[in-house]
Amino acid sequence: MASVTLRNICKSYGDIKITRGINLDIADGEFVVFVGPSGCGKSTLLRLIAGLEDITEGELQIGGERVNELPPMDRSVGMVFQSYALYPHMDVAENMAFGLKLAKVDKREISRKVGEVAKILQLDQLLERKPKDLSGGQRQRVAIGRTMVREPKVFLFDEPLSNLDAFLRVQMRIEISRLHQRLQATMIYVTHDQVEAMTMADKIVVLNAGEIAQVGPPLELYHYPKNQFVAGFIGSPQMNFLPVRALQASASAVEIEMPGGSRMSVAVDGSQVSPGETLTLGVRPEHFVDVEQADFAFYGEIAVAERLGDHNLLHLMLEGVEPMVTLRSDGNRKVAVGQTYGAGLMANKCHLFRADGYACPRHYREPALFGDA
Ligand code: ADP
Ligand code: MG
């Protein structure tokens, strides 16, 4: 097992910069998820760590040693891809053994390792099956097993669950999390799915256009996004963004003018904000409350009501506000399209972003993180 350190890692293809100045410390045994929209450079970064691409600039260390010049097989990394391309003419055991056979590992040693890994992945009853006789989830487990038998110090996963249906994805997600608990190996996992990132990661790295937008534990990113990009990417449905105007600002609070003219004070650091400045108010759909308990209320017409059983997702049209506001309400509450609905805001749950996208740091100590509120 090993730590992974990225120091000012840059990757260019000709004049095109794909990855810019990435600095990142991954601890031994940590589960780190790279997440971001398609094309932001997640796979590129993973391939740089694997040694499948040359690093243009910067230093990469695995286990404290510079590895920039080492070929993939000498880096003690094992990669699991989205398309797991098993050899169709080989059975499960042969597929898993293939890499070790190439490395001229002793036959008995190979069969011991394959047996051991097969047991962990619950493939021990399937060792003689050909890939075509396996389900998608089983095939993905073979692909993971093929990597595991080589006992890499660092596991690299590139969207390994994207080819599976929704149900299997959830199952495999849990299996990989359990595998990590069991192996205590360093794992770097790439996905575009923020739910996978939130549920699996010790630490999430949000990438935007080849740069790190924020690094931190899942709940820190959820409650304290440093910028509007992270705020919009983490959380589902997405955070609502509304244009507001700063009336007064200090290090302890910003007083804003809401759409419609009312005022509200938000406890964020406004030392970078000038009165009159246009800001963006961020409110998560799950943070609206009943108007009686609220610091501020919006009234709007329900344009779409999605009733999901345990909760409703309501899409409200508010006067003078674009686009619609999405909020989550109790599933037992009866709601109908066309009805007027009051959406209550709690000032301490609000986020404020400046025009350049940076968040005004929130002062509220979230109970989920601090447990003292
Ligand atoms: P992601 O995995 O986040 O979807 P990638 O790392 O695959 O993104 O790609 C990041 C960007 O790099 C994309 O814009 C892609 O077109 C570009 N890219 C990837 N490989 C090459 C290459 N060999 N030559 C030029 N551009 C590339
Ligand atoms: Mg990719």
Structure tokens belonging to residue 33: 């998820």
Residue 294 in contact with residue 350, Cβ under 8 Å?
no
Residue with CA nearest ligand 1 atom 22: 13
* Cα 287 to Cα 363: distance, rounded to the nearest angstrom: 17
Helix (H) or strand (E) holding 216: strand 211-216
13 lines ligand 1 (CB under 6 A): yes
CA of residue 268 relative to chain centroid, distance:
25
Amino acid at 276: G
Question: What's the gap in Å between 224 CA and the centre of ligand 2?
Answer: 27
Q: Rounded to the nearest whole angstrom, what is the distance from the C-alpha of residue 37 to the centroid of ligand 1? A: 12
Cα-to-centroid distance, 42 and ligand 2 (Å)? 6
> Residue 158 CA: which ligand 1 atom is closest?
2
As beta bridge partners, residue 318 has: 300
The CA angle 185-38-58, to the nearest 5 degrees, is 60
- Evaluated on CA atoms 352, 358, 364, 370, the torsion sign reads positive
Whole-angstrom CA distances from 149 to 27, 119, 207 are 22, 12, 31
Can you say whether the dihedral through the CA atoms of 108, 109, 114, 116 is positive or negative? positive
Radius of gyration of the chain from Cα atoms? 24
Q: Determine the atom of ligand 1 nearest the C-alpha atom of 210.
A: 10
Q: Decide: 316 and 329 in contact? Cβ < 8 Å.
A: no
Instruction: Return the H-helix or E-strand segment holding 4.
Output: strand 4-13
Predicted confidence at residue 372, as pLDDT, reads 63
pTM metric for this prediction: 0.93
* pLDDT at site 145: 92
- Report the 10 Å Cβ neighbour count for 239: 25
What is the separation, in whole angstroms, between the first and last Cα of the chain?
A: 38
Report how far residue 21's alpha carbon sits from residue 210's, in angstroms, rounded to the nearest whole number. 9
Q: Under a CB-based contact definition with an 8 Å cutoff, are residues 12 and 45 in contact?
A: no
**What pLDDT does residue 168 have?**
84
User: What is the whole-number distance in angstroms between the Cα of residue 136 and the centre of ligand 2?
Assistant: 20
Give pLDDT tens digits for 121-147: 889 999 999 999 998 889 989 999 999
Q: Is 217 in the pocket of ligand 1 (CB under 6 A)?
A: no
Buried b (16+ CB within 10 A) or exposed e, 98-118: bbbeeeeeeeeebeebbeebb
**Local mean pLDDT, 10-residue blocks, the chain (373 residues):** 95 95 98 97 97 97 97 92 88 95 93 92 93 91 92 94 86 91 94 95 97 98 98 96 96 93 94 97 96 92 96 91 90 93 95 98 95 66
Collect all residues with Cβ–Cβ distance below 8 Å to 331 and sequence separation of at least 6. Answer: 307, 308, 309, 310, 311, 312
- The atom number, within ligand 1, closest to the CA of 36 reads 3
Cα atoms in the 13 Å half-sphere on the side-chain side of 251: 0
Q: Taking Cα atoms as reference points, which of 338, 339, 343, 340 lies closest to residue 327?
A: 343
- Name the residue with the closest Cα to ligand 1, atom 15: 39
103-119 tens-digit pLDDT = 899 999 999 999 999 99
pLDDT of amino acid 172: 87
Between CA 113 and CA 121, with CA 117 as vertex, the angle to 5 degrees is 170
Domains of the chain: 4-229 (3.40.50.300), 230-370 (2.40.50.100)
Q: How far is the CA of 38 from the centre of ligand 1 (A)?
A: 9
The response to whether residue 40 sits with its C-beta less than 6 Å from ligand 1 reads yes
Residue 217 pLDDT: 98
Ligand 1 centroid distance, CA of 83 (Å) = 17
**Beta carbons of 153 and 77 less than 8 angstroms apart:** yes
Q: Which ligand is nearest to the CA of 38?
A: 1
